[in-house]
Amino acid sequence: MRPESEEELARLVAEAAGPLRIRGGGTREIGRPVPGEVVETGGLSGITLHEPGALTLVARAGTPLSEIDAQLAGDGQRLAFEPMDHRPLLGTAGAPTIGGVIAAGVSGPRRIAVGAARDFLLGVRFVDGAGTVVSNGGRVMKNVTGYDLVKLMAGSWGTLGILTEVSLKVLAKPAAEATLIARGLSATEGVAALSRALTSPFDVTGAAHLDAATTGGDSETRVRIEGLEGSVAYRLRALRSGALPGWETAEGEASAALWREVRDVLPFAGRQGAVWQVSVKPTDGPHVSQALREAGIEHAALYDWGGGRVWLLTPDAGDAGAASLRAATRGLGGHATLLRASPATRAAVPPFPPRANGVAALDAALRAKFDPRGILNPGLMA
């Protein structure tokens, strides 16, 4: 089914006889496989407003991301939260949509500096599980009028409603960027260096460490600076003579390519194995890898967000490391999501992290309110 308008979608949901699988570009097949008839959002497409001087963009949920990127680039702007393109890693095809980015709550390396997708989402319109159209938030940058359902919708994977329109805060693309690089550090040393950079006043907008198993050679630790020309030059100097002594420099396009690699987790694309996305506090990142090592599980680790987001490539056998990872994140505080695995593994291991009892009860009660018949991507986040 491919509704051409919000009203048509609302009617379709209201009249649905069974479960619905909601699809934007179909590039992020993540979570439990979902039964049901496919509802595509591609018919709800188009940028409805872009006001560069107000840093605002409003678009229908099915709008291809490429269209949005092009529109913003025309005015020297961009989506600052740097959403990952999942296609290389998951081996999917299709054109990612803005609705998919928001529903999946996708952010990239710059998230540590500027915030996540949810932080740039100003407003939403969606159709809930009863077929009712709901709007929340708006198009202005500061808005505390009523409850913030905008945050709730971001990252809800279509399980509370089908997004039809999103308003976003956008930012200017800075004039310059550069990356500082060190090689051969251990994960602990690398993350410690990233902490030094992130606790400096130099507005670091990317902080990643790729271990040797990830690069296939020496490990690589990267720190990104963006801004006006003079400012970037100044900060590079300041960091190289302070927190990051003698690190190499990559500028312009060479720097940008390094961060596309981190953003899209390209070192794991095309490699065999399961992929995990782990969230912990940054200095705990290396402990997650340690836990796998102790369990005798071979793996590669790519640390983003200063160590706070760990991408892991593990053997796609047994539980793919689930027991060790989930025990580790439970102990440390954080969570682990199985992002890529064979259907057999995904059927055996819940891809989304288990939630504490009281929290799980709230999740279930919210879903029962917003989708009383349980027809929207049922079970996807279970």
Partner 1 sequence: MEMPAPSAAVLAKRDRIVERLRKLLPADAVIDDPAETRAYECDALTAYACSPLAVVLPSTTEEVSAILGLCHAEQVPVVPRGAGTSLAGGSLPTEDSVILGVARMTEVLETDYDNRFIRVQTGRTNLSVTGAVEEDGFFYAPDPSSQLACAIAGNIAMNSGGAHCLKYGVTTNNLLGVTLVQMDGTVLELGGAHLDPGGLDLLGVVCGSEGQLGVVTEATLRILPKPEGARPVLMGFFSNEIAGACVSDIIKAGVLPVAIEFMDRPCIRACEAFAKAGYPDVEALLIVEVEGSETEIEEQLGLILQIARRHEPEVLREAADADEAARIWLGRKSAFGAMGQINDYICLDGTIPVSKLPEVLRGIRELSRGYGLEVANVFHAGDGNMHPLILFNANEGELGKAEALGADILTLCVEVGGCLTGEHGVGIEKRDLMSVQYTPADLEAQMRVKDVFDPAWLLNPAKVFPLAASASRRIAAE
Query: Any contact of residue 5 with partner 1 (CB under 8 A)?
Result: no
Q: How far is the CB of 33 from partner 1 (least distance, A)?
A: 18
Query: Any contact of residue 359 with partner 1 (CB under 8 A)?
Result: yes
From candidates 8, 29, 69, 75, binder to partner 1 by CB under 8 A:
75
Q: How far is the CB of 159 from partner 1 (least distance, A)?
A: 8
Which residues within the stretch 223-262 sit at the binding site for partner 1 (CB under 8 A)? 227-231, 234, 238
Query: Any contact of residue 335 with partner 1 (CB under 8 A)?
Result: yes
* Per-residue tokens: 91: 């081996």
**DSSP label of 244:** S
38 vs 172, which CB is nearer to partner 1?
172
Q: Are 122 and 167 within 8 A, CB to CB?
A: yes
Q: How far is the CB of 72 from partner 1 (least distance, A)?
A: 12
Query: Any contact of residue 108 with partner 1 (CB under 8 A)?
Result: no
How far is residue 223 from each of residues 94, 109, 332, measured CA to CA in Å?
Answer: 32, 10, 25
Which residues within the stretch 161-190 sit at the binding site for partner 1 (CB under 8 A)? 171-175
From candidates 15, 93, 142, 272, binder to partner 1 by CB under 8 A:
142
What is the torsion angle, in degrees rounded to the nearest 10, for the CA atoms of residue 285, residue 287, residue 291 and residue 292? 40
Query: Any contact of residue 365 with partner 1 (CB under 8 A)?
Result: yes
From candidates 160, 180, 210, 338, binder to partner 1 by CB under 8 A:
160
Of 359, 353, 357, nearest to 382 by C-alpha is 353
Query: Any contact of residue 132 with partner 1 (CB under 8 A)?
Result: yes
First to last CA, the chain: 25
Query: Candidates 59-67, 126-134, 211-219, 259-267 — which segment interacts with partner 1 by CB under 8 A?
Result: 126-134
Query: Any contact of residue 78 with partner 1 (CB under 8 A)?
Result: no
Q: How far is the CB of 175 from partner 1 (least distance, A)?
A: 7
Question: What residue spans of the chain are helical by DSSP H?
Answer: 6-15, 65-74, 87-90, 98-103, 111-114, 117-120, 149-153, 187-198, 212-215, 229-240, 252-263, 285-294, 322-332, 343-348, 357-370
Residues 6+ positions from 364 with CB-CB distance below 8 Å: none
